[in-house]
Amino acid sequence: MDFKGRHIWIIGASEGIGRALALELGKRGAKLILSARSTDKLEALNAQLDDNHTVLPLDVTDVHSVQQAIGKIQNLDGLIYMAGEYRPGPICEMTANDLSQMMLVNFTAPADIVRTLLPHMRASGGLIALCASVAGYRGLPNGQPYSACKAALINFTETLRAEEARNGIDVRLICPGFVRTRMTEKNNFRMPMMIEPAEAARAIADGLQGTAFEIHFPKIFTCFMKLLRILPDGLYFALARRL
């Protein structure tokens, strides 16, 4: 995709990778629709982008809020879903609300937004890019249900790609490794090959301008994580226990 003049909706644009991606795509000439819960942060981001874009606050956990936002969008060439919810720890230490919030933000909301937009996008084509994680490649200790949500989103995006190619919709999957954000600050373990949000944003933008289905980075780390998917169960769980 050539971003110049294209109307791109970024959900989760107020901070982290989503914010950095908005800045990167703004440099590449995109016309952005910036969404997240925090109006103040979105307005500040738009000001940094010379007030050339649309601020559209929403809460992905509120169906009514999402539907209202979709109703206000007149031109749309692409959706990039970057919102995420992460609460690390063993499942026995989580509340029912922890579980529902992670499932809602990381899987149910993007799936429902895509479901709602598809009839409109089929008419003119466009881009749908959903941000999962390498954590979804295989179940990781203290990663549930986050890993499970991201695994579901990976599967959903693969299915969507297979179904919608004939309708002219370019479906992409984004799987970052460790990026220095509010979410990774919650971890109390060593995170190898950590990168900054600006570097992640460049990798995503470059990937979307390429042809690969999956955009994953940093490559050395993500390729190692991909190897875990093909390890025999016994070998994988022996390694997981050490983690």
Active site residues: 146
Q: How far is CA 107 from CA 76, 131, 168, 182, 221, in A?
A: 22, 10, 23, 19, 24
Quote helix, strand, coil % in the chain, to nearest 5: 50, 15, 35
- Contact status, residue 58 vs residue 65, Cβ threshold 8 Å: yes
Helix or strand run (H / E) with residue 32? strand 31-35
SS3 148: helix
- Looking at residue 47, its amino acid is A
d(CA 240, CA 178): 18
Residue whose tokens read 């720890």: 89
- The answer to whether the beta carbons of residues 126 and 77 sit under 8 Å apart is yes
Compute CA distances 52 → 2, 5, 46, 86, 176, whole Å: 18, 12, 7, 31, 28
